[in-house]
Amino acid sequence: MPIAETTNPAATSRNDAWLIQHRRNVHSQCGEDGVLEKIFEVLGEGDKWCVEFGAWDGKHFSNTRQLIAERGWSGVLIEGDEARYQDLAREAKITPGIVPLHAFVGYDGPDTLDKLLARTAIPQDFSLLSIDIDGNDYHVWDAFKNYQPRAVVIEFNVTIPPDIDFVQARDMAVSQGSSLKALTRLAQSKGYELVAATDWNGFFVRKDLFGLFGIQDNRPETLWKDRQFDTRLFQLYDGTVVLAGCDRLLWHGVTLDISKVGVPAWLRVYRGRMTKTQQRLLKLWRRFKGRKAKPVASA
C-alpha cells in the first residue's frame, strides 16, 4: 500500500510564525519554555501569576516551571492523581511560589477551574494558563468563564491536520483530544487569538494584546509549521486508499495498516474500465459491506 510524501504549504507564507524560532526547552517538552519567554517579553510579565493543571510534580514537561523557579512567578498547580500530587506537594515545600491543589479539573460541578481558582488569591486577569489533560482540554477551557488570563497554552491532538475542526466528546472518560482548528475557533469565541503552535501546544493571547505581535495571518495552517505527526488519507480512482503523513498510531507504537481499507485488491480498477463481471462483483461487495452511498459518476 503506497505511502505519500507530504510538504508543508505554510513554508512559503510570510514569517508570521516567528515566535517558533524561539523554541527552547528547560523543563518543557517541545520548546514551549522559549516561546513563552518571548511571548512575555512582548506582553510584559504582568502580575507574574500562572496556572497549570495536569501539573504532575510541577517539573515534568512543565510549561510553568521555568517561570516559577527561575523568574519568581507564583503558580497555582493542580494535579488529580494522588501519587503525583504528593510529589507536587513535596516540591511546593521547597519551591517558593507554588500553590498546590489536589483535584481533577472538570467542566461542571465543584471542580471547574473557576471554582478551584476561587479558593486561591490569584488575580482575575493573571498572566498565563496552561492546560494539558490529554483529552477534555477543549471542554474545560470552554467552561472557564470568570477569569481572563493574558495568555493561554493548550494541548491539541497533533495527528489532526490544521484544516479539520474536531472536538472530542464532552466526557471525562474519553481521552481523544481536539484539533488546533477547533481550539482556535473556541479561543476566538472567548476573545483570544492564536500566535504560535509547537508540536503539541497552541499559544493564544487576549485579542486586545494580539496586535503587539505583528502577525497578519494567524490561521493554524500558517502558524503550525512542524506537522510531522498529522495524518491524512486520500483515495485513488481505482479504490486504493493512500496514507500521507504519520504512518503509525502515535501513542501506541503500532504501524498503521491500511491495506484492508478501500475496495479489495481484486476490485481496484477504475470504474470506467470495469468489465461487466467486475461491476457485478462490485455491487455484490457493496451489498455485503453495507455500502449505501451512491458512487460518483465516471467522467
Q: Where are the domains of the chain?
A: 3-223, 231-289
Return the pLDDT at 20. Answer: 93
Alpha-carbon span 73 to 64, nearest angstrom = 9
Q: What is the pLDDT of residue 8?
A: 41
Q: What value does the mean pLDDT take over residues 281-297?
A: 71
60: helix, coil or strand? coil
CB atoms within 10 A of CB 200: 20
Q: What average pLDDT does the chain have?
A: 88
Closest by Cα among 64, 2, 71 to 36? 64
Q: What's domain 3-223's superfamily in CATH?
A: Vaccinia Virus protein VP39 (3.40.50.150)
3-state secondary structure of 235: strand
| Residue 218 per-residue DSSP state | -
**Residue 9: pLDDT over 50:** no
Q: Which residues contact 22 (CB under 8 A, 6 or more apart)?
A: 31, 34, 35, 37, 38
Between CA 144 and CA 26 the distance in angstroms is 29
Q: How far apart are CA 165 and CA 76, in angstroms?
A: 31
Report the residue count for the chain: 299
State the virtual CA torsion across 36, 37, 38, 43 in degrees, nearest 10.
Answer: 80
**Choice between 256 and 150, residue whose per-residue pLDDT is larger:** 150
Give me the pLDDT at residue 64, please.
92
How far is the CA of 148 from the CAs of 100, 103, 247, in angstroms? 21, 21, 39
Q: How far apart are CA 247 and CA 258, in angstroms?
A: 10
Report the DSSP pairing between strands 98-102 and 74-79: parallel
pLDDT tens figures, 204-253: 999 999 999 999 999 999 999 888 888 888 988 888 888 888 888 888 88
Grid cell digits, residue 106:
472538570
Lowest mean pLDDT among 25-29, 72-76, 81-85, 137-141: 25-29
- In whole angstroms, give the CA distance from residue 240 to residue 119: 57
Euclidean distance between the first and final Cα of the chain, in Å?
A: 26
Whole-number pLDDT of residue 1: 45
Least confident of 86-90, 177-181, 202-206, 231-235: 231-235
Residue 106 has pLDDT above 50, yes or no: yes
| DSSP one-letter string for 63-94 | SSHHHHHHH--EEEEEE-SHHHHHHHHHHHHH
In the β-sheet with 151-155, what is the strand arrangement from edge to edge?
A: 98-102, 74-79, 49-53, 128-131, 151-155, 201-206, 192-197
> Residue 10 has what pLDDT?
39
